[in-house]
């Protein structure tokens, strides 16, 4: 698994934790930063994970509006928390990170959904992010 794939998983953990614990992304990020200090072997994945979480936090309203626009028939509240977190990562990469090709962002998000969410989540995430990518 590449460092960026590990970073996406780590960012997913932070976003999911913040959502479930109903704490701010900054608070969840600070908690993870303390943990990261004791795990120097994971330094490469930590840097990009932090970029993702900071980016999602900085663009939270636009990211959530984009998800709700393209997730036809689904509100954010109705989605599983893990799907919300995955979509937030994917939309951030598509809209705000020029270093990641759209196909990679979508593929990585779909893999996260297949691994950590419901049986139908991979297709759902693929559909939403595919529509977002077409609109960019």
> In the predicted model, what is the mean pLDDT of residues 89-99?
97
pTM: 0.93
Q: Identify the pLDDT of residue 47.
A: 87
Domains of the chain: 3-135 (1.10.940.10)
CA–CA distance, 111 with 117 (Å, rounded to integer): 10
Look up tokens 């977190």; give the residue: 85
pLDDT tens, position by position, 13-42: 999 999 999 999 999 988 888 777 777 676
Distance CA 132, CA 112 (A): 18
- Per residue in 36-62, pLDDT (tens digit) is 777 767 666 788 999 999 999 999 999
Cα distances (Å, whole numbers) of residue 77 to 5, 34, 62, 84, 131: 26, 30, 16, 9, 20
Best CA proximity match to 13, nearest among 128, 115, 97, 136 = 115
Tokens representing 67 are 């998800």
């Amino acid at each position: 698994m590449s460092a960026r794939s590990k970073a996406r998983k780590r960012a997913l953990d932070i976003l999911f934790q913040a959502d479930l614990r109903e704490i701010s992304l900054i608070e969840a990020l600070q908690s993870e930063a303390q943990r990261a200090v004791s795990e120097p072997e994971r330094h490469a994945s930590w840097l990009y994970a932090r970029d993702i979480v900071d980016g999602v936090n900085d663009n939270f309203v636009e990211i959530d509006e984009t998800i709700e626009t393209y997730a036809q028939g689904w509100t954010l509240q109705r989605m599983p928390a893990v799907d919300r977190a995955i979509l937030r990562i994917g939309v951030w990469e598509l809209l705000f990170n020029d270093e990641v090709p759209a196909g990679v962002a979508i593929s990585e998000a779909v893999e996260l959904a297949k691994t950590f969410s419901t049986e139908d989540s991979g297709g759902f995430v693929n559909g939403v992010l595919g529509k977002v990518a077409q609109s960019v």
